[in-house]
Amino acid sequence: MRMMNEFEAQVLSDLSVLKSQMNGLLGDGGGRLVELERRMDRHEQNWQRAKGFLAAMSVVFAVVEVAVEAWHRH
């Protein structure tokens, strides 16, 4: 069996580091990418709620405006 040269040892070392970094990103179902995905989903859900709230408020203000206009006409 032959010994590894310096280049091969460096490649194996770099691959080990890469494997460790990929494991940190992907993890076993709980890596950083999964957490980022969850945060993006929560952000999107909050954004949708805010848009719905603003739409409802615009309807309320329109109804109030129509009621005030009707009241002033009488």
Give tens-digit pLDDT for 18-32: 998 888 888 777 788
Q: Does the pLDDT value for residue 7 go beyond 80?
A: yes
From residue 65, how far is each of 20, 58, 62 by CA, in Å?
Answer: 62, 10, 5
Mean pLDDT of 33-61: 96
Residue 1 pLDDT: 65
Q: Does the pLDDT value for residue 74 go beyond 90?
A: no
Helix (H, G, I), strand (E, B) or coil at 74: coil
Residue linked to tokens 């709230």: 53
Q: Are 25 and 32 in contact (CB under 8 A)?
A: yes
Q: Does the pLDDT value for residue 53 go beyond 90?
A: yes
Q: Are 12 and 4 in contact (CB under 8 A)?
A: yes
CA–CA dist 56, 65 (Å, integer): 14
The two structure tokens encoding residue 60 = 């309320």
pLDDT band at 15 (very low <50, low <70, confident <90, very high): very high
